[in-house]
Structure 1
Amino acid sequence: MVGIVSIMNATAAPFSDDESGGLFARIDWHTVILQAVWIVVGVVFLFLLQLVDYSVIGEHATLLYWISVGLLAAVLVAGYTSRGTQGWFQIIGDRTIQPSELGKIILIIAMSKKISKKMDAGGISGFRDIADVMVLFAIPFALIMLQPDWGTAFVYICIFFGILFAAEINWKTILSIVGAGVAMLPVIFFVLMQPWQQERILNFFDAARATSDSGLNVYNSKIAIGSGGLFGKGLFNQAALSSLDYVPEKHTDFIFSATTEALGFVGGMVILALYALLIFRALSIASQSRDKFGYLLVIGVVAMEVFHIFENIGMTMGIMPVTGIPLPFLSYGGSSMLTNMIALGLVINVGMRRQPLSPL
């Protein structure tokens, strides 16, 4: 409900050609209805997931993984390109689906299954024990870089390290992987990134670029958030900066800006509190999971959601570079909504089959 209202607010135009229509005529109902449809589809998948024990899903991890890799490879050949990224398949009309979104869930399942097997067999002591896990991560990661979609690639990195930390792998091993990644940063920036992606990074580190054409989006976003004050300007305010199109991508990447401008600091804190409740509840489920696979599965979902929330909200306030990743359950987008609903379904699945609490 919060997501639907946020999208209604973000898509409301300041004026309507139909003066008698009022607020109803100002809202982009096409976008709102499409999002509602994806929510319904996501809820259906969420409930269907409860019918199958998560361990059964884990048994098909390898098959799911290679299907995901196949789709990521296929999208490079026959995919739809938007804003410099070839990462979508056109399905019906102008409707698209993004395989890298669903690939996040599949990577979580595949990594959790492989690492949990190693933990059950005696643990992971060194680099050699996770070499195959690194390959498991590297293949889809490389395919996503070729699109190129660095926002999604960073989510995959967060999932990878989140699960490694949860598996209690030796710190030296993790630091060696981090060191190798840091050493690759110059190559990533100067060779692999597109000019417009480099521009986003430079805008983040150079305050002088804040009001330039390329940095104006974040600048306006910060003004919109600040102008909301304590209690906001109210939903569907015709004078809001987001309604006047000063805030870019206000129903997708920058939906937090539009919503916080309308609901103010208090509304923004309520949204953060809801996310915190979701995360802490998931961590509680992870701590009570009946096996290591379930534990890692939930931790992978938590790592994914935490990065999405921190990065998306951070970029709207200028404390993180703009990557274009959506805000879970709020941003418009079918692939994102479906992915988050499936992720939530997996967490609930593990929770339904967790260990009973010990009596006092």
Structure 2
Amino acid sequence: MRCRSNSLGALLRIRSEATGAIHSFFKDNGYTHIHTPIITSNDCEGAGEVFQVEPPKEAGEPGENPHFFNVPAFLTVSGQLHLEVMAGAFTKVYAFGPTFRADNSQSRKHLAEFYMVEAELAFVESLQDIMQVMEDLFKRVTDMVLSKCSRDVELFHKHVAPGQEAKLEKMLTNQFITMSYTEAIEVLKQAHEVFTYKPEWGHDLQSEHERYLVKHCGEIPVFIFNYPYDLKPFYMRDNEEDVHHTVAAVDLLVPGVGELCGGSLREDRLDFLQSRLRRLGLEDTYQWYLELRHFGSTPHGGFGMGFERYLRCILGVENIKDVIPFPRFPHSCIL
């Protein structure tokens, strides 16, 4: 009966319009929509929080491979690596579909199944180009949602999150701010605020740090770029000439949510990529990924945006479980 309530009814109409607006944005900008697989043999982020896929066990022949696909298979955490394959043929590609995390968390920010918007662009050599697409996507889609669903959005801004309308207007009318990770750490160290986690260069930004940085920037979305090399996955481009050892990665932080988008330039240099995978013991697993570079690659990059996080941001909804029709989280998969 939940979908018959005013708030969820309005939410689902907004969600539908936002979905159409996202497809419209990419179509109008020359992107090809790719259906990336839900079942995959790779863990893109390397975090290990994946659901393994296996059919019911049956008695097989002695010596028979125990895996249905001959290798361990998982529900996808990201379509990025598959999009990188396609970007070599279509230049600008995107995917929009379900992704999964086996993260045993009951927090208001986590779901086991959620939707991701991911884009990959070939012939890109600057993080600024990636950031511009993120900003344009956010503003264009939000403008379309406000135009098509004004009454539904008004319900949230009046009755669920009073004051959210003014905050959203500020996000849409101001250019997003950019700040390096190193600058961000300095801002946090100089803050007259007691953090649970002490900000240190080389450590991940925590939720409390993200909230403070957005507040410091006047509640305007802020891009944090050039993260420490050891914090990020293997596919991010090494900033070899940086005094600090960093990678060309960027996160977009927004009011009320924290990280909304994450992206990077991809490592297109075979020797750099091979060296890093070898150190991580992943060279055999990602041999196909190395071959993309070995047989001809281009400078490229991309990003992902959590769709439910986006809805939380524009509507002011606190709990991510309230912006998806059938939330999946630990100990809850009712129907």
**TM-score, normalised via structure 1 length:** 0.24
Larger RCO (CA within 8 A; separation ≥ 6): 1
Q: Name the structure with the higher strand share.
A: 2
**TM-score, normalised via structure 2 length:** 0.25
